[in-house]
Structure 1
Amino acid sequence: MLIVAQNSGLVPTLADDVSASEKAMMRQQWKREKDEHKIEVIRWIRERGERRQELRLWQMEREMREDDRARWKKQVEAERLEWWRTVNQEREAWKQEVEAERRDWWVKESHERDKWRRQEAADREKWARDEEEWTRRREEEEQYRKEVEHRRQGVWWSEPWKNKGCYSSGIQAYSAHLFDIPDDLNWLDVCMDMPIQIEGRWFDKPDKCERDETHVWGTWMIGEPGCALYWDRIHYMGCSAGQSGMKRYRARLMNLHKGDDWDKMCSTTPANILGVHYDRPTVCIDEGRTGIWDYPDSSCH
């Protein structure tokens, strides 16, 4: 009990020189300080709780701002992509439109150019035909004038006749007698300057004029499809005998008519052998009415 009373300050100890009243006052002060400290601790705890709450709120606001920023960035990126896609689509549509317009222009220009070329070609053909027609009429008028002039002098052609057989390949000869040539005129000059109409065509002069004791006549060489000849299948005969560097080919002449001079017809009928054009055979032989051609070839020795 004594020890408790000493610890409580009610009973002084031997080593203690502080009075009990002072100790009581000190204990009250310590209690007040302890109570104030508890109050201060409670306030600090409350303030710390408030700071933590504010920190949590600030953290939530920060997270919300981060979320808003992420959404904004995502929205901006989506808008940018959408804008870029729209721009690309518009650009592609513009390119297609320009390309379509260019193609349309090119097609139209090509059509116009083709039309102009066709028109130009048609105009050239018309000019050529007109010039040819004008030349033909001028020649006919000149021939008619000559005929009238000669007829005034009494010179005239008989009705022309077709000579027997063809003259050469693709050529038919026509002849006519020339009558009433004045004695004071040269028969050849008159004949070679006397026009005639044969098969509906006017000819300014004969190809040749001839005479005998009784008649003067002119002869005209006129192209005629019925006189055109052709060669049968061309056969290879090997290297030419006695000719170094030559191959020999032969073919039979076709479409000869009765009365044709076959040798002249043979020597005027052209041929194409291995891409080479020949105006006539190298030689014609009566055996089978055949043409012979020598073709250069270094393999023949």
Structure 2
Amino acid sequence: MSSRRYDNPPPYSLSSSEANPLIGTRRPSRRHQSSCVFAALIAFFVVAFTVVNLCISLSEDPLDPDVRERIRKEWNIELRRHEEEVLKRIDIKKHWLLEDNDRIRSREQWRTEVKEHERELEERRKHEEEERLRLNMFWTDLASHTCTTYATREYTARLVNVPSYYNRRVEACMATPVEIRGVEYTPKWCEDHGPNNVVGHWEVDQHEPDCASYWNWYKDFGCVSPGSGQRRIEHYLENLPSGADWKEFCATTPASFNGMHFMGSEICFQWNGGTYGHWVFDDDNCK
């Protein structure tokens, strides 16, 4: 067997790795470029941060004359502001003290005037009392009138022995008591019709049984409406004085029921010549 000879070598392929040059320029990859840019940015920011901090440190250095001068000016401004605020507070305090002193003086003056006025009134009252007793003024023609309100009757009388020159007749009338049913009362008001015609008026609310009306015929009308929580009650008014104001007596005659007390009726009305009182009050049984 004869050996095979290769007179010509096989063709050289350009795709082989051996065709790549070992030394020479080569275009960097994109990943490599991004890494370089990022590293450069980091280096730039580090340098910038260092420079800024250095500038700030230099600008705040207390040994720097410019910094010390700037701090001194700021202190002076704050000091002036503080002094102005202190002066303002001192002025306000002085103003308050002046106002307090004025109020104290006004209060003391008012108290002095009140005491002086009370003293003058007391002296005048004593003088009038002495003069009234000296002149011997007294009441006559005491008369009872109609009942004005619950258990209260009006009385009148005429003050006599009043001199014609006496110019304080109303004051003398108001200061002169009269005895009614064993009790002394001073007038509620007076009418001056001349020296011999001074009339006093009394409203006596004691020992007047003829003027004492009362409630009778208690009637429970039940709940005002379902779920209202309120109940309606009516009473009939007894012993209403003849000629008296039925509305006044209905509103002033006391009533007590269901453990409650009322000074008079809440609503008053008349029906068939009778006077009725009407009450509406809270009741849990109506809820």
Interval of TM-score (by shorter of Structure 1 and Structure 2)? 0.3 to 0.5
Structure (1/2) with the larger strand percentage: 2
- Greater Rg by CA: 1
Structure with more of its chain in helix, by fraction: 1
